[in-house]
Structure 1
Amino acid sequence: MSLKPLEFDRRYGELDHVFSAYVGQLADDTPERPSSALTAYLRHTWHSRPWALAVAEQQLREYAEHPPGRLRLRLGEFHPLPDTGVPDAEVREWLLALAGHTRRSIEEGEVPPPSPVPDTHWEWHARFPELTQFLGGWFSQDMPDEFADHDAAIDDYAATTDRTLVARLVGELRELVALALDEPDYVVGAAELGMEVEPPEPHATSDWLTHVADRLSAFRPDYGGPDRRPN
């Protein structure tokens, strides 16, 4: 029978984060050198959820030493390994290499230094999760058909989203702008985070991100009149 959510998280929850970091990336780890995907995972997790690294090391090693058979995979009793391009005969050694790098990172304090520009698609999304939801949900290629203009889409997000999440988005926007990246990096970042339309003229991408943060900060939701306030 398929794994229940609680059991999945206990056995494969952090492993799933590690595997997700390899989507679209080369699994070219060696015992001596971690890949860009694993480095991105280690960097972000060290600075956001350092306790999870020990869980990842344990789950990687357990999966490597006790791989599932095809029947158990078909029954949903195991988390399937994504197609990383690693030959089946080499998967065990690859997983053990990941576990080894993770353990050394913990035991020797080898923390990948912060990077102003995320290295991978996964790292962009992990670092700016609410901005991912905002750009991917409100600024897809369908935006011109759904809203009169960019500001109308911003206002729709603000009016339909919990204020806690709106505040979180403003923080992520401020963080991204404060990195003072080159303009091409902002264009790439917006695309990685799901934006499929150009910013409105005359804004460059970085200017428009600042405009979004300012507009959301000034937005006041309509709670139905002066005598109605949120609980």
Structure 2
Amino acid sequence: MSLKPFEFDRQFGELDQVIRAYLGRTADGEGEEGGPDAALEAYLRHTWHTRPWAVAVAEQQIREYADNPPGRLRRRLGEFYPVPDVGLPDAEIRDWLERVADHLKRSIEDGAVPPPCPPRTHWEWHARFPELSQLFGGWFSQDMPDEFPDHDSAMRDYATQTDAQLVARAVGELRELSSLGLDEAEYAVALAELGMEVDPPAPFAPSAWIAQLSDRLRAGGS
């Protein structure tokens, strides 16, 4: 029988977070000058600033998995973590996991914390702005024109159908997004990374619409 959620999280929960940071990217583990690659650096940057204790948990879980890969019985019973496709042959997965664990350990021992900066991977955008990924991906997807007459209607629907605490969280994330100081092309990329599949309403540039959306949601969608 497959692992129950509690047992899965205890053995593989943080390992899974690290692996998810690599989805859609080719796993390497080595960046410039022997440091972590972009995906692992994004995981470290976000986790050090939100859940610093989890870095050590990730290192331990990855190390144990690499040292004790699942045998045929555990595979048949489903009592193991199936590493998703990270662009490596199966024979290279173990060495890659060990390199990742080494980078995590070095980060802890040296206190090497990546400085704050705008997100650099798809995973990091969603990890840093989880409520905006719900807002943009759920209300401003390619289906928005079929569901709402305009952007304002979609925004009001989100504001009235979503718990007030989550709306407040979205407002905070919008303000944080505005504070990144990106140029307009970069803000357009940010919106796309967070799931928005329609253009901002005319005549707003991406940054101006983000600011207006924050003000409107803070006012209750009015």
Under TM normalisation by the shorter chain, which class is it?
over 0.9
Counterpart CA distance in 1 for 2:207 and 2:75 is 46
Q: Indicate if the aligned counterparts of 1:43 and 1:112 stay in contact, CA closer than 8 A.
A: yes
Other-structure match for 1:114:
116
> Which entry has the higher C-alpha Rg, 1 or 2?
1
Percent identity, aligned pairs only, is 66
Q: Secondary structure at the match of 1:55?
A: helix
Other-structure match for 2:3:
3
- Give yes or no for the alignment of 1:43 onto 2:48: no
Q: Indicate if the aligned counterparts of 2:42 and 2:121 stay in contact, CA closer than 8 A.
A: yes
Counterpart CA distance in 2 for 1:128 and 1:81 is 25
Greater Cα shift, 203-212 or 83-92: 83-92
Counterpart CA distance in 1 for 2:147 and 2:202 is 19
TM alignment of 1:105-184, pairs within 5 A: 105-115=107-117, 117-184=118-185
Shift of 1:91: 1.5
Q: Indicate if the aligned counterparts of 1:26 and 1:35 stay in contact, CA closer than 8 A.
A: no
Q: Indicate if the aligned counterparts of 1:170 and 1:216 stay in contact, CA closer than 8 A.
A: yes
Shift of 1:89: 2.0
Other-structure match for 1:206:
207
Consecutive unaligned residues of structure 2, counting only runs of 5 or more, are none
Q: How far does the alpha carbon of each residue in 1:208-229 deviate from its partner, in whole angstroms, 9 at most, with x for none?
A: 11111111111179xxxxxxxx
Other-structure match for 1:23:
23
**Higher percent of residues as helix:** 2
Q: Secondary structure at the match of 2:152?
A: helix
Q: Indicate if the aligned counterparts of 1:124 and 1:192 stay in contact, CA closer than 8 A.
A: yes
- TM-score, normalising length from structure 1? 0.92
- TM-score, normalising length from structure 2? 0.95
Letter in 1 for 2:93: V
Consecutive unaligned residues of structure 1, counting only runs of 5 or more, are 222-231
Counterpart CA distance in 2 for 1:186 and 1:127 is 15
Counterpart CA distance in 1 for 2:76 and 2:181 is 48
Shift of 1:90: 1.9
Q: Indicate if the aligned counterparts of 1:30 and 1:94 stay in contact, CA closer than 8 A.
A: no
Other-structure match for 1:226:
none
